Amino acid sequence: DIQMTQSPSSLSASVGDRVTITCRSSQSISRYLNWYQQTPGKAPELLIYGASTLQGGVPSRFSGTGSGTDFTLTINSLQPEDFATYYCQQSYSNPRTFGQGTKLEIK
Q: Give yes or no for residue 94 binding other proteins (CB under 8 A).
A: yes
Which segments within the chain are labelled E, that is strand? 4-7, 10-13, 19-25, 33-38, 45-49, 53-54, 62-67, 70-75, 85-90, 97-98, 102-106
- CB-nearer residue toward other proteins: 78 or 97: 97
Residue 101 · residue 21 · CB < 8 Å: no
Binders of other proteins in range 9-48 (CB under 8 A): 32, 34, 36, 42-46
**What is the total count of residues that contact other proteins (CB under 8 A)?**
24
Q: What is the contact surface with other proteins in residues (CB under 8 A)?
A: 1, 32, 34, 36, 42-46, 49-50, 55, 87, 89, 91-92, 94-101
